[in-house]
Amino acid sequence: MTKIAVLGLGAMGLPMATRLANDFDVLAYDVSDERRKLAEKAGLKVAADTPKAVEGADVALVAVRNAAQLEALLYGPGGIVAALPKGAVVILTSTVGIAAAESVAVRLEKDGIGLVDAPVSGGPTRAGEGDLLVACGALPRDFEKAREVLEAMAGKLVLVGDEPGKGQALKTVNQLLCGVHIAAAGEALALAGKLGLDQRTALEALMSGAAESFMLGHRGPRAIEAYEGGDPDVASRLDIFVKDMGIVTSAAKDVGMAVPVAAAAEQLYLMGYVRGQGAMDDSTVIRVLAPDSEG
């Protein structure tokens, strides 16, 4: 049986690990004691540290927050590269940007380890169901080594390029749309409130017409809760979109392209971040647009 080390048990890592444990030998780890305990409650085997997690692993599935955490996990104190068997592959499910994935791939290749650049999209619920969008960039040999694991994670598995970095490129485009859609949903619902409409009735109506979108339907109820002064459950932190929209605008600059809509959305997330909303749900961006609605 394929042995998988899942490293990072956050909102996406834990449900992915739980799903994969149905079909593979999974050993999980997270730096957070709380997340490790949650993993054990979910029935997962949990390692004592990162080197033990990857000992004898065929695949190391990485679910970290950003490029700095990826660097620390691979090459920092207790880094997994020294403990991973030669010929293993790292599946990078995180959004870290094109350059970071390309750089890590070169270094891992020198250490005899392949990188499958496979950022995921779909949210925690779909992660637990094995129904994610998984966009891959990888050398053919590494993709084939990881294919069985990727197929167990994915509702839609797309090989977008034969080298690491291409998965990040598609995820960058994906996050442009997601970030803009969440911001637009917040703006629309804030305007509905200011115009004296019942926001829940407005949301129901909008989801029945041409303005319908996944983000409007998924984030809309939580945005309304935030508008009313509540603190919605955190499905995706606002500071994740500070990072991701920064990746979007930087990538666009690198190719000499203007992305004015994405740049405007990025500023909204930054404004929310400086207001102390970084750890709140990203739907609370509505408060930036209607700060007097917080109760």
3 state DSSP class of 6: strand
Task: Please determine, for residue 293, whether its predicted confidence score (pLDDT) is greater than 90.
Answer: no
Provide the domain count of the chain.
2
Same domain, yes or no: 156 and 173: no
Query: Does residue 70 share a domain with residue 187?
Result: no
CATH of the domain at 203: 1.10.1040.10
pLDDT at site 143: 98
Of 112, 142, 163, which residue sits at a domain end?
A: 163
Neighbours of 112 (CB within 10 A): 12
Condensed to tens digits (0 to 9), the pLDDT of residues 214-271 reads 999 999 999 999 999 999 999 899 999 999 999 999 999 999 999 999 999 999 999 9
Identify whether residues 269 and 150 lie together within a single domain. Answer: no
Task: Indicate yes or no: pTM above 0.75.
Answer: yes
Q: Does one domain contain both 16 and 158? A: yes
Same domain, 19 and 133: yes
* 14-24 confidence digits (pLDDT tens): 999 999 999 99
Catalytic residue chosen out of the listed positions 86, 171, 194, 243? 171
Residues 198 and 224 in one domain: yes
Answer yes or no: do 9 and 140 share one domain: yes
Domain range for 258 is 169-293
List the CATH number of the domain containing 152.
3.40.50.720
Active site residue 253: no
Residues 139 and 181 in one domain: no
Q: What is the mean pLDDT of residues 98-110?
A: 97
Question: Do 153 and 24 lie in a common domain?
Answer: yes
Q: Residue 294: what pLDDT?
A: 61
Confidence class for position 295, pLDDT limits 50, 70, 90: low
